[in-house]
Amino acid sequence: MTALASAILAAQPREKAGARTGARFAFQVHASLAKLLELHEEGADYRALFDHFDDLTILVGSSEPTDLRFYQIKGREPGPWKTAHFCSASGDAPRTTIGKMYHHTISFSEQVDATIFLTNAPFEFALAAGGNSTPDHMVLVFPDLAPTAHAAFAKALEPDFASPRTPHEGDIIRFERTRVPLVGYDTFVKGRLVEMFDDLPGSAIAPLYRTLVAEITAKSNDTTVCATIEDLYTRKGLCRGDVEHVLSEAQTHRNILGHWESVDAEMKAAGRSLPVRLKARIAVTNYLRDRSKRMPETFALHGALKGAAASAACTMSGAKTLCDAAAHLEGLVDPNLKAAYDDATWEAALLVEAFDTVNGQ
């Protein structure tokens, strides 16, 4: 176990109040999911912990983390966030919002890559360049802010974290807007899934969304005290590999591979040998992979077959077997099209596109 993993296990998390519900918590869950999707799309190797040290904690590196990013997620409507909102003191130490953000340095010091206030609302801060920030400012770091803002934050931190502070607040504190709205957060996140995974059939998006939201909600609400880092990761987190597994499951169960047993039975009944059937399955897997990656030749074939299938969806849906539907589809396209592809790819494409058409995908 790395030094940072040991520190994560040993550190005291936020107070655990048990399961939470409500619109504000749902917004937090969806904003967290949107951040994961953003990291996933960027290709980052991440591990997320939900409602543990903060609303969302990102470990930079899933297996051997090197740094931590903490997200305090708050919804606000109407009106912008102003400097005074972060400096107003109340309750026990740390008594300010800026102090609660900086507090992570007590346990993790230089391993804090950033502590971020994430919100749907705009910020109205005095800027170093003059004037105030506007809704167009999606990310604000200390160098963006005017000396008056620096001084206000420093003054608010001083009672709980006396200077000199290491690391300096200006090196780690950030303010960031999420595009997830306070109302309609579910529609927004479903739209992001459609944008990111447009190779998935439309019918797969809703269950994929429900699975991811349910995972984050359950992990946020888990109050188990964990004795090992592995247990903590399992109960409170998701890593890149976990999200990829969920996506893979969505693809498998919503495409022809999730129903391959029946396709294989059809081929067997038609007298095709096991090696031939295995070759067909490999070809289908390769076709689906290349189609999802929009490989030019494969995507051109997909477009031609999908267009032909759309004109005869009713007829194909009435076919007795998938192989019959594929044969019907072959008769709808230009015979010269087949010449550009090997036999295995051609058959795989017919089976996949016929399956999608018959199943309304």
Residue 109 to residues 115, 116, 168, Cα–Cα distance (Å): 12, 15, 10
Q: Which residues of 55-82 are buried (b: 16+ CB within 10 A; e: fewer)?
A: bbbbbbbbeebeebbbbbbbbeeeebbe
pLDDT of residue 121: 97
pTM of the model: 0.73
- CATH number of 68's domain: 3.40.1350
* String of DSSP letters for 303-326: HHHHHHHHTTHHHHHT-SSHHHHH
Number of separate domains in the chain: 2
289 contacts 302 by C-beta, under 8 angstroms: no
How many C-beta neighbours within 10 Å does residue 337 have? 16
208 contacts 216 by C-beta, under 8 angstroms: no
Structure tokens that stand for 33 in this block: 């999911």
Any domain includes 163: yes
Query: Are 212 and 280 in a shared domain?
Result: no
Query: Are 29 and 165 in a shared domain?
Result: yes
pLDDT of residue 312: 81
Provide the residue-wise pLDDT of the chain in tens; the chain has 361 residues. 678 888 999 887 866 666 777 889 999 999 999 999 999 999 999 999 999 999 999 999 998 899 999 999 999 998 999 999 999 999 888 999 999 999 999 999 999 999 999 999 999 999 999 999 999 999 999 999 999 999 999 999 999 999 999 999 999 999 999 999 999 999 999 999 988 887 666 667 888 898 899 999 999 999 999 999 999 999 999 999 999 888 877 766 667 887 888 899 999 999 999 999 999 999 999 998 888 778 899 989 999 999 988 888 887 888 888 999 999 999 999 889 999 999 999 999 999 999 988 876 6
Domain end residue (candidates: 181, 205, 239):
239
Q: CA-CA distance, 179 to 188, in Å (whole number)?
A: 8
pLDDT of residue 147: 97
Any domain includes 317: yes
Query: Are 174 and 216 in a shared domain?
Result: yes
Range of the domain at 265: 256-358
The answer for residues whose C-beta is within 8 angstroms of residue 292's C-beta and 6 or more apart is 199, 251
Query: Are 166 and 47 in a shared domain?
Result: yes
Query: Are 56 and 131 in a shared domain?
Result: yes
Domain end residue (candidates: 188, 204, 239):
239
Query: Are 264 and 154 in a shared domain?
Result: no
Interaxial angle between packed helices 240-253 and 202-221, expressed in degrees from 0 to 180 and rounded to the nearest 10: 140
Q: CA-CA distance, 306 to 302, in Å (whole number)?
A: 6
Domain end residue (candidates: 181, 213, 239):
239
Query: Are 229 and 324 in a shared domain?
Result: no
Any domain includes 321: yes
Structure tokens that stand for 349 in this block: 């494409």
**H-state helical runs in the chain:** 3-10, 23-42, 83-87, 97-102, 104-108, 147-157, 169-172, 185-196, 202-221, 229-236, 240-253, 260-269, 274-292, 296-310, 313-317, 322-330, 343-358
CA nearest to 351, candidates 324, 332, 333:
324
